[in-house]
Every structure is written in structure tokens, then in C-alpha cells.
Structure 1
């Protein structure tokens, strides 16, 4: 079902500082910040030859990333994103098998303007999983 690793997402308390650190210290190529109101975050992608790193900063106090940063004030790995051929079919099959799909279970548009769903971390050994349409 899952394909390649699309990205590793890291929640950060200061997106500008995190972007500068990756760009200036590691020489990484970074995207412009993109606010995603539907998900309550602003994202920046760090392009690597084999995958991406997504830096996430909360868009307001109601953001799930704000809650994550309350528990982890220095930031940290938030989720892994895997590609799937058909996110709606994958979501339905996983839900049928007992895996908890977060939210309504219906795919939303993600940072790459593709459908995504999130799977409950308790069903994947403490790791939040995002599935993105390939």
C-alpha cells in the first residue's frame, strides 16, 4: 500500500530561525513559507535528493502544532508522510481494518495540494502517519 517516504515533518517554535539554520548551516535548499489555514500551520520544505523535511509552525493557538509545542517546547519530529496511489481507497481500507483515520476520514488538501489523511499515532507505535496521494 505505502510507497516512498515523502517527508519527515518537524514542528518548530520559530519557523524563520529553523529555516535559517537549515539554509545557512547545512546549505539546504528551502522553499518559501506557505500558510495552510485548513491544517493550522505554516510550512517550509527542505529539499533533499531522496525526500523532504517539512518544518511546521503553528498558525495560532488552536493549531495542533501549538499543542505539540506546548508538550515539546524545543520542537521535534511530528509525523512521517508516505505516498499512496489512492489516498481515499487507502483510508477506507485502513478504517475497515480497524486503523483510526483522524478527523472525518475524508482526505483534505495538504501542503503539496494533494489529498492527505492522518492515521492515529497509537495505531503506529506512537508515530503520527500522514498518507499523501502520489
Structure 2
């Protein structure tokens, strides 16, 4: 059901500093900063030959990333994102197999302008999983 790994998301306290490290220390291509108001985050994407790294900074005190950083002051891996062909079909199969979909169960538009859903980390060995329709 799942396709290729789309990205690994890393929560950071200082997006500009993290972007600089990826750009200058690692020599990576880093996108422009984009605010994702619906998700409460500001993002950049680091392009790699085989996938992407999404750097996430909280956008306001109510951001889920702000809560994550309270528990993980140094930041760290927040979620992984897999591609799926049909997000509704994938959601229905996952739910039938006992996976919990976060939120109201309806896809939202993600950072790439495509429908996304998040799956409960307790169902995936402590890892928050995002699925994104290709």
C-alpha cells in the first residue's frame, strides 16, 4: 500500500539556523521558508537525491511542533511521510486494520499542496506517520 518515502520531518527551534547548517555545513539545497498556517508550522525542505528532509519550526504557541519541542527541547525527528496512490482508500484500509487516523479522519492539504493524513504514533512503534497522496 505505501509507496516511496517522501520525507523525514525534523522539528527545530530555529529554522534559519537549521537551514544554514544544512546549506553551509552539509552543502544541501534548501527551499524557501513557507508558513503552513493550517498546520501551525513554518517549513523548509532539504532536497536529497532520494528523498527530502522537512525542517519544522512552530508557528505560534499552539503549534503541535511547540508541544513536541516542550517534550524534546533539542528537537528531533517528528514524523516520516510515505506516499500513497489513493489517500481515501489507504485511510479506509488502515482503519480497517486498526490504525488510528488523527484529527477528524479527513485529509488536509499538506506542504506539497497534496492531501495528507497523520497516523497515531502508538500504532507505528512510537513514530508519527504521515501519508501523502501522489
TM-score by structure 2 length?
A: 0.99
Q: Which residue of 1 aligns with 2:34?
A: 34
Quick one: distance in 2 between partners of 1:62 and 1:123?
Answer: 24
Q: How many residue pairs end up in the alignment?
A: 134
Q: Which residue of 1 aligns with 2:121?
A: 121
Question: Any unmatched runs of 5+ in structure 1?
Answer: none
Quick one: distance in 2 between partners of 1:92 and 1:13?
Answer: 35
* 1:29-58 CA distance string (max 9 Å, x none): 000011101100011000000000000000
Q: Which residue of 1 aligns with 2:74?
A: 74
The CA deviation at 1:98 is: 1.4
The CA deviation at 1:126 is: 0.3
After TM superposition, the structure 1 = structure 2 runs for residues 1-134 of structure 1, keeping only pairs within 5 Å, are: 1-134=1-134
The CA deviation at 1:92 is: 1.6
Quick one: distance in 2 between partners of 1:96 and 1:103?
Answer: 17
Aligned-residue Cα RMSD (Å) equals 0.5
The CA deviation at 1:61 is: 0.6
Q: Secondary structure at the match of 1:89?
A: helix
* 1:35-86 CA distance string (max 9 Å, x none): 1011000110000000000000000010000000001111000000000001
The CA deviation at 1:101 is: 0.2
